[in-house]
Amino acid sequence: MIKKAYADTPSGQMHYYHGGPQEKPPIVFLHQNVSGAKGYERTLEKLIDRCHCIAVDLPGFGGSFDPPEFHSISTLTQYTMDFLDTLGIEKFHAFGNHTGAGMAAEMASLYPERVLSCMMVGALLLTEEQAAPYRDEFSGSVGPSHEAEYLKITWDYIYNLGGNRDLDNMNDEFSGALRAWKVRGMIYRCVWDYRFDLFIQDIKCPTLLMCAPDDVLYLGHQNTAAAMPKAKAIDVKGTNFEPFLDPEGVSQGVIDFLTENNLS
């Protein structure tokens, strides 16, 4: 059974989902921008019989506190480390999707004594030239207005990213994006300058790379696989919402990876 809880961190309350054998080091799931921890529920359901899982709403998302304005994704990483310290978690597996993948890599790079493995869906490694179209397409955020145009703009944004494949997921992602309209703009203003290229150079732990071929960051996934030849790289399904739309593939990828590295 997946449970919900809050942790009182030094900066504010953070909401999370959790389940599985508590005696094991947890897999800490970090969501992508615009989404929230709820997008991991289906994958968690497949894993909690054998894995201790924690999926946290990053500040500004879901039930977590609203952060002051920030200019680096590393700020979110520090909030998350404070969250883990609050829970008394010393060692863990870092799992991240898109923006969360960058955070997982940063954690593995900065805290090698704590991060047992690094798992990334839609890794962020792009050249400056490759990143330019992403800067143009994924930038800023639209907020509330009396005319409510932002509702249609936000709906279309998620719908065209793959939300059209499952209306339950579409509704969850839409409501989550509306709640997070302030912080997702902050993230888009700095995520493409996040030094993911430096983080992956320092990762020493076992690493798993997953991505759907129709994910917008599949190019980043391929670049990362080429830059990290010792990492295990696999394709999964689910366009930009792999943990929700392909929980079987994602969870099996995790289980196989942990088993192969004697980490299960």
Does residue 166 contact residue 244 with C-beta atoms inside 8 Å? Answer: yes
> Among 158, 43, 13, 26, which Cα is nearest to 91's?
26
DSSP string over 201-251: HT--S-EEEEE-TTSTTHHHHHHHHHH-TTSEEEE--STT-HHHH-HHHHH
Q: For the whole prediction, is pTM greater than 0.85? A: yes
User: What are the tens digits of pLDDT across the range 142-157?
Assistant: 889 999 999 999 999 9
User: What are the tens digits of pLDDT across the range 53-96?
Assistant: 999 999 999 999 999 999 999 999 999 999 999 999 999 999 99
> Among 13, 114, 107, which Cα is nearest to 56's?
13
H or E, element range at 185 = helix 181-190
Span 205-228, average pLDDT = 98
Q: Which residues pair with 210 in a beta bridge?
A: 121, 234
Reported residue count of the chain is 264
Q: CA 62: distance to chain centroid?
A: 13
Domains plus CATH for the chain?
3-126+194-260 (3.40.50.1820)
What whole-number distance in Å separates Cα of residue 212 and Cα of residue 219?
Answer: 10
For residue 147, the tally of other CB atoms under 10 A from its CB is 7
Which pair of structure tokens corresponds to residue 148? 């409510």
Residue 142 pLDDT: 87
pLDDT at 15 over 90: yes
Counting Cα atoms < 13 Å in the Cβ hemisphere of 190 gives: 16
